A and B are shown apart, each in its own frame.
Chain A
């Protein structure tokens, strides 16, 4: 189980901010979310969307543990 967090417009699109998902890798997590909500799946792979695992930005795939926190960060607005 990974704890998944959505921010900004991604949260509006999905209709949720946080949930637990059973996934052992980022790739598996993306497949799971896209199967459930195709629009969200496309948006998560959209231009400028960064992914942070345990608060560090990562690129590509990565193994997830039960305690992993995965955040999808759409383009930032600034303050």
Chain B
């Protein structure tokens, strides 16, 4: 399942719900990304998506992950709108028979989300605002899977 949310979310509650009622799943891996303060340089993040388009694009990579790692289920929840330092910005959960597939699928999905997902991100700080593009490291991380 793929969801965008304007509202804060509770990663613990998402994990509890995701892990419930599974008798054949041996492994659930999760990743929670938090918005960084960057030593006061970032007061808030503003994250914009293209509703519908963004979920479809993430959905295509989720389908790849399901097939490549044999996932039983996955959940991606991404914040949009205004996000303060320390708040969860993204949550990814993957369920598989064994741990390696669950870990790797989570890693794969995050590398895609950080480098390719249709979001536009603006950092607001004491020196003004600036739009962010993926770093060379973000691109290199995604290349590991090709």
Enumerate chain A residues within 8 angstroms of B47, measured Cβ to Cβ.
79
- Most A C-beta atoms less than 10 A away, residue of B50, B78, B115, B132: B50
> Nearest residue in A to B76 (C-beta to C-beta)?
A79
**For residue A10, which residue of chain B has the nearest CB?**
B120
Count of chain B residues with a beta carbon within 8 Å of a chain A beta carbon? 25
In Å, the complex CA distance between A79 and B132 comes to: 10
| Contact (Cβ within 8 A) A79 B131 | no
A77 touches B50 (CB 8 A): no
Contacts of A76 in B (CB 8 A): 116-120, 134
Minimum C-beta distance from B69 to chain A (A):
20
Q: How close is A44's CB to chain B, nearest CB, in angstroms?
A: 15
Q: Is B124 part of the contact surface with A, judged by Cβ < 8 Å?
A: no
Closest to B123 in A: A77
- The listed residue (B56, B117, B122) touching A55 by CB distance below 8 A is B56
Residue in B78, B113, B121 whose Cβ sees the most chain A Cβ within 10 Å: B121
Q: Please give the residue numbers on chain A whose beta carbons come within 8 Å of chain B beta carbons, in ascending order.
A: 5, 7-9, 11-12, 52, 55, 71, 73-79
